[in-house]
Structure 1
Amino acid sequence: DLALHHFYRAMSWLGEEIEEKAEGALAPRCVKDVIEEKLFDRRRDLFTDLSLVFMDTTSLSFYGAGGDTLGRRGHSKDHRPELAQMILAVVIDAEGRPICTEMVPGNTADVKVLMPIVTRLRTRFGITRSCVVADRGMISAGTIAALEELGMEYILGARERTSNVIRDVVLADTAPMVPLVLERQAGDTQLWVKEVRVGKGADAQRYVVTLNEAEARKDKADRQAIIDGLQTQLKKGDKALVGNSAYRRYLKASGKTFEIDMGKLADEARYDGISVLRTNARITPLQAVIRYRDLLQVEALFRVAKASFDTRPIFHQSDAAIRGHVFVSFLALTLAKELTRLCQEKGLQPEWQPLLNDLDRLQEATIEKDGKVITTRTHVSGQVGN
């Protein structure tokens, strides 16, 4: 009979190392890597679309010190800075199917994660000509240079406020923007888009600037709410304001006191509703915007993994068990994606949390009588009953 310790041992086996860590690799090769590659090969054919891969990271906290290498303190996206953590990276294909996961110590900066993953995609899966889509946390001059040296296309979110090129050149460009409409389930999104090239010839840097008027109005309203609160607090005294990061960004010293920095307010208004992409892909600005917005698929995967599939909390104390624990969630995501595809082919659109709740209510019982054994279960209901 299977007992709980059997499942724990199997989970640890999934995360066990089978090769020494290669030079420049994020992590050693493990059993889970072999399974990821087998799953990928199983669905791969001559028509498999590998033209686009999406990549994002999140942090997962431990209750305890974590493993030998994975438990480290770092910037917590879980908003739990007091806990040790690891960084989890997930790669999905253009159809939203998970390709692989990478797990690294919690003090690893996002900007150092992208290139080792790209290298592993090339060696593990033969993905050599894909366009990599990743958020602004992974962009750096070194990363872009490395991607271009490999001949890889990319669409990367850019840091509007900290990049001198974007702040002083791209956003200062006076060319008109073109109105575009993105169709979405919650209603159309009105955008204004333009392309800005910095430099000339083959070495020109290509940026795509978008203005979302609805987001611009929200940014302005949010900032005004902070200023209204700040003005009220300044009348009561300014010492406590310095510890509030939302307030501090709009303050400047005036002698021994603080006052609202009007220049900072004007500078912040430049970024209302603005987002900037850096790309070398041979696509239109609209295509670049749509592909970058598809990166939300990965963020949705993280939410599902953390909530519906109970990735957190993590109590394990070995790297192998931690890797196995997270990989089980990866397998659940892969199964969920395939079940979604099959349901859609039948005209069904299940919601996963209610579906899991319905499955959890099912009960099974085995009855032995007069030498006969009968196994029965409760009646299915809800989405499972459909």
Structure 2
Amino acid sequence: MGYAIDSAEDLALHHFYRVMAWLGEELGDRQAGALAPRCVKDVIEEQLFERRRDLFTDLSLVFMDTTSLCFYGEGGETLGRRGHSKDYRPDLAQMILALVIDAEGRPICTEMVPGNTADVKILMPVVTRLRERFGITRACVVADRGMISADTIAALEALGMEYILGARERTSRVIRDVVLKDKAAMVPLVLDRQHGETQLWVKEVRMGKGKAAQRYIVTVNEAEAKKDRENRQAIIDGLQAQLKKGDKALVGNSAYRRYLRSRGNAFEIDPGKLAEEARFDGVSVLRTNARITPLQAVIRYRDLLEVEALFRAAKASFDTRPIFHQADAAIRGHVFCSFLALTLAKELKRLCGARGFQPEWQKLLNDLDRLQQATIEKGGKVITTRTHVTGQVGNVFKAAGIALPHNISEHPAD
């Protein structure tokens, strides 16, 4: 179904709401193993990808992360559910949004599922849909520790897919008792970052042989290790002060409880737990089967931060929240509009970069809000005037190849 509008002057608010619902409209039966039904927005994602595809287009590396979006209302027929809230709003129904981007940071597609779906159940259905929708038969999937499980790893390897996955250092017995106790020396590495250099120590630990071999990359970030020690010491200082007042209220505080042990009818700080926690200061572990060096694995995994940055932009700069819609289709269309905004922002960033500058999005949006145009009819003439451009608006219009209208123009009235 489509909507015909004669001209821009005929646009009204209800047209936008109708188109939004159309973007999230289901096209048919749910595909086998899919988390969500196929919708109009899926076709647009595929056509956008096909538009920029050529003989050299490569999706050998894809990044995926999830976030939660809460609703003020029921949240549609199926999407709105209570679950672990990354928005820190457990009182509201929510949905889970998965975003996939390519190695250049361009959004590829989104998946939207009910808010009680665990991250660990999302990765494989998304990978399956990538293979079906975009023809990706071999790729390296980069995702965080929330999506790792033995079943997920086995399924990725069965499909011949490479992966770089964050591992759970504290809860994995293999990592805790074997990988982190490996005696091999670590190699120092210095990474150039936007806000200065990062000092890392890296080593590779292999377990097993042949097809059953497991490969782990262990890194220690000195700056993060210092921060972890300082944070833990602050907790201990607070804990000691509270113990002097009485210890019954401490059991309900998870930050305190992890460092306590019971002795008779009282609690005290457990030195063993402190020493165990110190093992993880600044430590992160990756699980991978990719044929790359440890440094390459670390760099690719750190690039996953770009997906988190896109989520922050979508929630803040592009006003994805709040969501008030009552139907699944309208909710999917609402969120997909943010996907389109991210896609346009990435292309504009590329165009601006070619001219030697990068706009700051929130400031640019504020400057664009101040760019206004007014039309006056007087003496048989129509006079159109616009406000002066501020900030980087003029440079952005030039980079996009769009000419700004004159400050003042006039023409005879019809």
1:248-267 to structure 2, matched below 5 A, reads 248-267=257-276
* Aligned counterpart in structure 2 of residue 148 of structure 1, from 145, 154, 157: 157
1:117 aligns with 2:118: no
Cross-structure match for 1:301: 310
Shift of 1:245: 1.2
Deviation of residue 370 (structure 1)?
3.9
Which range moved further: 365-374 or 161-170? 365-374
Aligned to 1:338: 347
How big is the shift at 1:243? 1.6
Q: Partners in 2 of 1:125 and 1:201 — Cα distance?
A: 31
Q: Which residue of 1 aligns with 2:222?
A: 213
Cα separation, 2, equivalents of 1:371 and 1:159: 73
Q: Highest CA radius of gyration, 1 or 2?
A: 2
Number of the residue aligned with 1:288: 297
Q: Name 1:177's counterpart in structure 2.
A: 186
- Aligned twin of 2:405: none
SS at match of 1:382: coil
Pairwise CA distance, 1:373: 3.0
Q: Deviations over 1:296-328 (max 9, x none)?
A: 000000000000000011111110010000000
One-letter amino acid of the structure 2 residue matched with residue 126 of structure 1: G
Task: Report what 2:143 is aligned to.
Answer: 134
* 3-state SS, counterpart of residue 193 of structure 2: coil
Q: Which residue does the alignment assign to 1:77?
A: 86
Residue by residue, what CA displacement relative to the aligned partner does 1:59-114 show, whole Å, maximum 9, x if unpaired? 00000110111000000000000000000000000000000000000000000000
Residue number in structure 1 paired with 2:16: 7
- Is 2:143 the partner of 1:106? no
Please give the alpha-carbon distance, in whole angstroms, between the structure 2 residues aligned to 1:371 and 1:70: 55
Secondary structure of 2:196 counterpart: coil
Give the CA deviation at 1:375: 3.0
Question: What is the correspondence of 1:213-252 to structure 2 with a 5 Å cutoff?
Answer: 213-252=222-261
TM-score (norm 2): 0.92
Report the equivalent of 1:366.
375
Instruction: Describe the SS at the equivalent of 2:57.
Output: coil
Q: Could you report, residue by residue, the CA deviation over 1:145-165 in whole angstroms, capped at 9, with x for unpaired residues?
A: 000000000000000000011
Distance 2:243 2:124 in 1: 47
Deviation at 1:201, TM superposition (A): 2.5
Q: 1:49 is matched with which residue?
A: 58
Counterpart of 1:247 in 2: which secondary structure? helix
SS at match of 1:155: strand
Give 2:73's aligned residue. 64
| Secondary structure of 1:80's aligned partner | coil
Among candidates 208, 211, 223, match of residue 202 of structure 1: 211
The size of the alignment, in residue pairs, is: 386
Deviation at 1:261, TM superposition (A): 1.4
Q: Which of 168, 177, 195 is the aligned partner of 1:186?
A: 195
Shift of 1:356: 0.3
* Partner SS for 2:138: coil
Indicate yes or no: 2:275 matched with 1:278.
Answer: no
Given candidates 14, 18, 32, the residue that maps to 2:41 is 32
Q: Distance in 1 between matches of 2:32 and 2:291?
A: 33
Q: Provide the aligned C-alpha RMSD in A.
A: 0.9
What amino acid is the match of 1:116?
P
TM-score, length of structure 1 as denominator length: 0.99
Secondary structure of the corresponding residue to residue 261 of structure 2: strand
Q: What CA distance in whole angstroms lies between the structure 2 residues aligned with 1:128 and 1:295? A: 21
Letter in 1 for 2:275: A
Q: 1:363 deviation in Å? A: 1.4
| Alpha-carbon distance in structure 1 between the residues aligned to 2:133 and 2:392 | 38
Q: Structure 1: which amino acid aligns with 2:53?
A: R
* Counterpart Cα distance in 2 of 1:200 and 1:22: 37
Quick one: distance in 2 between partners of 1:310 and 1:242?
Answer: 39
Greater CA drift, 175-184 or 253-262:
253-262
Residue equivalent to 1:23: 32
The code of the aligned residue for 1:55 comes to M
Shift of 1:371: 3.6
List alignment gaps of at least 5 residues for structure 1: none
1:366 match: secondary structure = strand
What letter matches 2:59 in structure 1?
A: L
**What residue in structure 2 maps to residue 356 of structure 1?**
365
